[in-house]
Amino acid sequence: MNKILGNKKAYFIFVFPAFVIYFVMAFIPIIISCYYSTLEWNGIGQKVFVGIENFLDLLKNDAFLSSVKNSLILAAASVIGQLIPAMFFAIVLSRNIRGEGVYRTIYFIPVLLSTVVIGQLFLKIYNADYGALNALLQKLGLEGQDWLGNTKLVLAASFFPIIWQYIGYHMLILYTGIKGVPAEIYEAAQIDGANEKQMAFMITMPLIKSTIKVSMTFAVIGSLKLFDLIWVLTKGGPLHASEVPSTLMYTTIFTRMEYGSGSAIAVFIVLECLLFYFLIEKFFKVDNLTY
């Protein structure tokens, strides 16, 4: 075994196929998108080189600026709406409560469901005529709403199922991190008179910072590149009120046939994700130094 682990050729044999697949499926499309972003092209006719003009046009595009704002709101909402409940559930379940495995499975079920299925489910729930949400509100004597047709409500209505779906995902990640903390530390803290709240904030969270960083990275990056659920629910409407960069990119390329502008949005999404990844890394490094 030691001979295999110390064999660089063995590393190469195992890593190279995965690297080739990753390079073909990820890096080559990014490179092609960068090239297309410098062109004015409808996908069929002649390509005209325009340099960074497509990126400059995006800065003047109100729909694009609105989509970026919406994606940032979703990223912030995901950190608050996913990680905080996920941390609470993870801490509670890690205390060896009765039925721990059953609760863990129940919380994780939404993650296993297809995003399209969840989108179709919430389309029925939000339906202005026969939706379950409006029916419940009317039972309570309140007025129903057009949840996906009202520009003031559609953003929150679209984001709720996204946040709900992945709470269990982050809960399981954090739960695994908490389970890795030695039980002796908690026992010593209890002997010293620490309560559950103190152990959560003074022991659990500081010791699983690397796990929290992973969850935060997944939550933020996943929000910035989100497409499927928004597309199923609203397609970015009405009036771009629930638009995010990925849905605008799709309509720009495949509806308006503006491959240059759409590719510029794709490049922006990649750069935005990289920026936030490095910001999160920087934040946790600074926090570790302070701690």
DSSP-assigned beta bridge partners for residue 284: none
55-290 CATH pick, 1.10.3720.10, 1.10.3210.10, 3.40.50.300, 2.40.50.140: 1.10.3720.10
Region 148-173 average pLDDT: 92
Instruction: Report the pLDDT value the prediction gives residue 291, as an integer from 0 to 100.
Output: 47
Helices (H), the chain: 2-5, 8-22, 28-36, 53-59, 62-78, 84-93, 100-112, 115-126, 132-139, 154-179, 183-191, 196-199, 205-207, 209-224, 228-233, 245-254, 259-290
pLDDT in tens, 46-64: 999 999 999 999 999 999 9
Domain limits, the chain: 55-290
Cα–Cα dist 43/253, whole Å? 9
- Is the peptide bond between 182 and the residue preceding it cis, with omega within 30 degrees of 0? no
The secondary structure of residue 143, as a DSSP letter, is -
Instruction: Report the pLDDT value the prediction gives residue 15, as an integer from 0 to 100.
Output: 87
Region 28-46 average pLDDT: 91
Dihedral sign computed on CA atoms, order 278, 280, 283, 285: negative
Whether pLDDT at 3 is above 60? no
